Amino acid sequence: MRRLRNEALKSLGKNGAFPGNFEKMYLEMDDDGFTGNFGQHVNIGKYLSRRDDYINTLLFGKDGYEDRIRKRFNDKFFMIRIDEAGQPIFPDGCEDLDKEYRHKLNAWYSKNVVRRYTKKYYDARIDILSQKTLKALHEIDNQISNIIKACTVDGELHTELLTRQKALNLLNLYEKKAQLSNPYDEFGRLKEDGTDAYQIAKELTQWNNFLRDKVKYKMNYEAYENAKNNAKNKDVFELLNSFRTINPKLWEEVSGTFNSSQELDNLRNRRRKLLSIIRRRGFTEIRINEVWDFDKGDIKEEYREFWQNLKKLDEEILSKEGSRRKNKKYSSIFTKEPVKITEGGIKYNWYNYIEKSINNRLKRENPTKNSIEIKKMLEKEM
């Protein structure tokens, strides 16, 4: 700032201008005077000033939300508190006022601010997500922002500049954020109705369902290869930007094999959510060590419900899935065996896949045990 000011003053001196006019010529002003910002095509200071005036009027003006809450609870000393993110904290029992306030603020933003999404998008977000859920998202988003700030160059994000450890931390945060919408906790147990975790998962699931048919993604392999070739650290780039999955073209061909219904879609989605607890980004990358203690030769106690829930879901899905294409064989489509390829179509059975993975490792580490003994041991745990 000092360097820019000195250069501007030198320029003004050469042109015979009076140095005291520097602020008027170069700095931004709002209704109260100079803001300290350099002038630009958008008057940030004036915008912030008017936004804050509007919020203060809504919250603390005559018949504002503070007055309305005082009347509702017959408490003339009540005061709205502001959290660390600058958001008002509405007390329990005022959820309707909280949403009303956010809708009014959203309407003001829609008239006064150029935004990424439409007013309808933000209105739906307000209706579906409570402050409790937004706060949980905000806490994780802040941690993500702290990491990616370090690899933002000239406004462009270059995550390949991160160290491998930082990249792993970023992946863990993405997984933690995704886990908020999961009906299962980190050990595969259903979140208990009435808890904050249950409410957050329910609201985020509803929000994701709202977005699902409105947002379309298309893989751009050429752009991916170009970005990868230009990346300084290709290992970190691949870690953050790629994962193993079924080729979308092949998936499009075989997906018609399955019967489809809302009930089946819901069951498959629940299984996907449950598997995400032990799956790292991708279709086949199962972290067996998460659920099985190879030293003790036993399922980890904290994952016992995960094991039971997975088997139950697999059995229910397989009993309903059926096949619409008979006598058609698919061979060499999948490189792993999370699926079973038969003449009747393609059947998923993740429980058996994980069981087989444990079986194979146990045979490698203890070749004296045969597969029948291992299967009996696994079945005993059920």
Mean pLDDT of 142-156: 87
Give the β-pairing of 152-153 and 88-89: unpaired
The residue whose two tokens read 């941690």 is 143
Give the model's pLDDT for residue 285.
59
pTM summary value: 0.71
pLDDT level of residue 357 (50, 70, 90 thresholds):
low
Say which residue the tokens 């003004």 belong to: 12
Predicted local distance difference test score (pLDDT) of residue 183: 94
380: Cβ contacts below 8 Å, ≥ 6 apart = none
* Predicted pLDDT of residue 341: 36
Would you kindly state where each structural domain of the chain is located, as residue ranges?
1-41, 246-381
Average pLDDT, the chain: 76
Q: Which of 10-14, 64-68, 174-178, 278-282 has the highest mean pLDDT?
A: 64-68
pLDDT at 240: 86
Name the more confident of 354 and 308.
Answer: 308
Least confident of 128-132, 145-149, 248-252, 270-274: 248-252
As a whole number of angstroms, the distance between CA 278 and CA 187 comes to 9
Q: Is the per-residue pLDDT at 348 higher than 50?
A: no
Average pLDDT in the 87-116 region?
Answer: 92
